Amino acid sequence: MAKPKKKGGPKQKLSPLAARRKARRDKAAAMTPRRRRMKAESQRKGCAKGYDYDHNNKRCVKESHNRGGTQSKSKKDGTKAERRQNKRKNKK
């Protein structure tokens, strides 16, 4: 019988040392002034359950749409190009 999958477990198979280093890097990235401002802005907006604040569109959008993979393969998520693309869509 197969073991049930752990919910909320590690997403990557890293050695303990690599996991600690990654956690330290991630924490440092999350605490930059820009990221702290973005987090505060998201909390002020207070989106409904199931929604996240999209800093490019400046509005609440579905979590599934805001968590990556919404762009074509030729463009990165969260770029200035995405902001321009969204502005064009909204004008139509």
Binning pLDDT at 50, 70 and 90, where does residue 36 land? very high
β strands within 3-90, DSSP E: 51-54, 59-62
Binning pLDDT at 50, 70 and 90, where does residue 28 land? very high
When pLDDT is averaged across residues 45-55 and rounded to a whole number, the result is 88
- pTM for the model stands at 0.56
When pLDDT is averaged across residues 53-68 and rounded to a whole number, the result is 81
- Rounded CA-CA distance 90/61 in Å is 14
More reliable by pLDDT, 60 or 10:
60
Binning pLDDT at 50, 70 and 90, where does residue 7 land? low
